[in-house]
Amino acid sequence: MISQVEREILSISAMASVARLDLDGNPIDPMTICMIGAGGFIGSHLCEKLMAETPHTVLAVDVYCDKIKHLLDPEEGQEASRGRIQFHRLNIKHDSRLEGLIKMSDLVSSLAPWNRSDSGSLLAFAFFNVILSLYFVIIASHPNVVVEQILFSLQTINLAAICTPADYNTRPLDTIYSNFIDALPVVRYCSENSKRLIHFSTCEVYGKTIGSFLPKDHPLRKEPEFFVLKEDASPCIFGSIEKQRWSYACAKQLIERLIYAEGAENGLEFTIVRPFNWIGPRMDFIPGIDGPSEGVPRVLACFSNNLLRREPLKLVDGGQSQRTFVYIKDAIEAVLLMIENPARANGHIFNVGNPNNEATVKQLAEIMTQVYAKVSGEPPLEVPTIDVSSREFYGEGYDDSDKRIPDMTIINKQLGWNPKTSLWDLLDSTLTYQHKTYAEAIRRSLAKPAASS
């Protein structure tokens, strides 16, 4: 009878025996990854990817671990992750060990995380209900060593931002501090200690398209060069200073420019990632269930909350803005390629999105209504949507981008990455998760007032 320990050793040995190669055919050495913020949306999916497909070890650092519990205590048949992921509870926002961790790393990556007050946030500020920082540190020491003792680390990834439109408009100072000021030490430590940096920015740095300044019926608005967003060519165009909504995009653009300048003047090795609406299970929160009742998550969670409560979906200014959506598992493929192919990723800015999944917000609401009816078995609402003004929904000072359609030339050329999942399929996966996770809790919460009256 084979013992549990022997089974784990055989599992790890089998994985290691299949040599992983980078895109140039070079062997990828197994690494230990200290992932600070591993309990969040992106971190949890990256942990799953690393456990399932690589021999790498993860030191998972966060305040909460709810979203990675299945990896920390794997069931029978999941032995591949046993012993290769360990959780360390640490809040890095006020922890002086950050500089030490970066000094011990070769790669630091800063990625805009997801607004949360849930168990997946690294820095769930009691008053702000939002993730402010999320860090990954990839190291090459023994996984049993506590964070303070990590030595000779190979890679670090930092995710830090406030990233919901509701916050940009009502908390512009916090937004600017979180996305620029709080990121400065990370960039400086990387530059001073010759560490590689992967910074996750946002597609919002592009601001408004050139075409948006043309008359609505102008034929050039339909030409790709007037709306497709290119990393190395498209200008960054924002609204007036009075429109506080652009505080996020401006802060993100400025930290990008700082990183680029550090590369040009001081030789900082960097990669900048611009996510275009990464969607999937475990993102954001449902107000009143695993987040504040007054909280305003992003569009997918807002619409999911409406569907779960059988309320009309609210379309801000008619839902005419156009967006693209990419499945989280597709996006994580791109992140792993960046981590394991530094020679191809260094010095580049990458759009990570799916231009094939383009839809207006109104169309997104319509598709989500159809998909949720299929998933839940419930009939669609007779009045599925209602229009609300941006002023009513977000407050004074809101503004928006007309389109966010990414050009994928650079990431396809450098990393050979293309997204695979259709909009319908990613919504089917996400809403199946939402219904399974939240439907019963929503029913109980809706029943409480009636029971108490």
pLDDT in tens, 408-425: 999 999 999 999 999 999
The residue ranges of the chain whose pLDDT is under 50 are 1-6, 8-10, 12-13, 16, 76-77, 109, 111-154, 158-160, 451-453
Whole-angstrom distance, CA of residue 124 vs CA of residue 64 = 9
Length of the chain: 453
Whole-angstrom distance, CA of residue 189 vs CA of residue 184 = 9
Whole-angstrom distance, CA of residue 101 vs CA of residue 155 = 10
pTM summary value: 0.82
Whole-angstrom distance, CA of residue 297 vs CA of residue 164 = 7
If you write DSSP's letter for every residue of 4-61 in order, what string do you get?
Answer: HHHHHHHHHHHHHHS--B-TTS-B----EEEEETTTSHHHHHHHHHHHHH---EEEEE
Whole-angstrom distance, CA of residue 442 vs CA of residue 201 = 34
CB 156 within 8 A of CB 109: yes
Whole-angstrom distance, CA of residue 175 vs CA of residue 160 = 11
Residue in 115, 120, 122, 126 with CA at minimum distance from that of residue 92? 122
pLDDT of residue 394: 77
pLDDT of residue 141: 34
Any residues with CB less than 8 A from the CB of 284 and at least 6 apart, and which? 41, 114, 115, 116, 291, 297, 298, 300, 301
Catalytic residue (choose from 135, 168, 248, 372) = 248
Whole-angstrom distance, CA of residue 21 vs CA of residue 78 = 24
Query: Beta 133-139 vs 85-89: how paired, if at all?
Result: unpaired
pLDDT of residue 343: 94
Whole-angstrom distance, CA of residue 324 vs CA of residue 275 = 10
Type of residue found at 362? K
pLDDT of residue 347: 96
294 vs 21, 169, 288, 302, 387, CA distance in Å? 48, 15, 8, 12, 20
Whole-angstrom distance, CA of residue 437 vs CA of residue 441 = 8
pLDDT of residue 156: 52
CB 8 within 8 A of CB 35: no
Beta bridge partners of 322: 360, 403
Whether residue 433 lies in the annotated active site: no
pLDDT of residue 186: 75
